[in-house]
Amino acid sequence: MSRGFSSYQLDRIDDQVVQPILYAKLSFASETLYVHDSIGTRTWGGNDWIGVGDFATVSSIEEGSEISPYSLNLTLSGLDSGLIAKTLNENYYMRPVDIYIDFIPASGSPAPVQIWTGFMDVMSVTAGASGGDSITLTCESEMAKFDRSANLRYTDTMLKKRNASDKFFEFLKDIDGVKILWGKKVGTAGGYSPNLNPTRPSYMK
């Protein structure tokens, strides 16, 4: 699919030898990780992208005609214990993920285009297994947010968290469970007394 590719990249695709390269930008809470699945450090967009080579894999990136969320898995193998410990303590849930693709030219600067965007969902770590140490990060596309509850409540406390000056629900708790006695009026003593002679509208006479 050529959608979104620049003329420069289309020319690279038509080359006799094509070498694609994937970039992943992982925006963790404490820092942003810039990596690519080739070797060496590549500078692009004002950042140094670290090559992890064959130690990293990206599952197939799906796209469909229907409006539906698609997920992908990012796997990093051959890890040291220090990296695993840091990963377990990192705040990653619902943090942004961006995937880019580029084609390594014979000369010139990198010019990736974004092919996927979403957020981190579930991270699993395998350490000391027969298949080697690895971290698998399952990422969900932006469409998945439509299937998730916003966990918002119609309360004064919840509204104040979004806007401290908003008083729309300020008296909501005071009317919870209140019984409204229609057709009665307040007496002089502060209690309720029957309104035995209500005024009828002119159109009902």
Tokens of 10: 């289309």
* 92: in domain: yes
The mean per-residue pLDDT over the stretch 99-121 comes to 80
- Mean of the per-residue pLDDT values for the chain? 75
CA atoms within 13 A on the CB side of 24: 26
| Same-domain status, 66 and 123 | yes
How confident is the model at residue 136, as a pLDDT?
87
Residues 25-42: tens digit of each pLDDT = 999 888 898 989 888 888
Q: Are 23 and 112 in contact (CB under 8 A)?
A: yes
Q: What is the pLDDT of residue 147?
A: 56
Structural domain including 169 reads: 156-204
Q: Is the pTM of this model over 0.75?
A: no
182 and 140 fall within a common domain: no
Q: What is the DSSP letter of 137?
A: E
42-56, 130-144, 159-173: range with highest mean pLDDT: 42-56
> Is residue 2, in this structure, part of any structural domain at all?
no
**Judgement on whether residues 107 and 188 belong to the same structural domain of the protein:** no
Amino acid at 16: Q
Q: How far is CA 144 from CA 120, 124, 180, in A?
A: 11, 20, 43
Check: CB of residue 39 under 8 Å from CB of residue 25. no
- Look at residue 122 and tell me whether its pLDDT is greater than 80: yes
Residues 97 and 58 in one domain: yes
Q: Which of 125, 147, 169 is the last residue of a domain?
A: 147
Q: Which of 10-14, 58-62, 104-108, 193-197 has the weakest average pLDDT?
A: 193-197
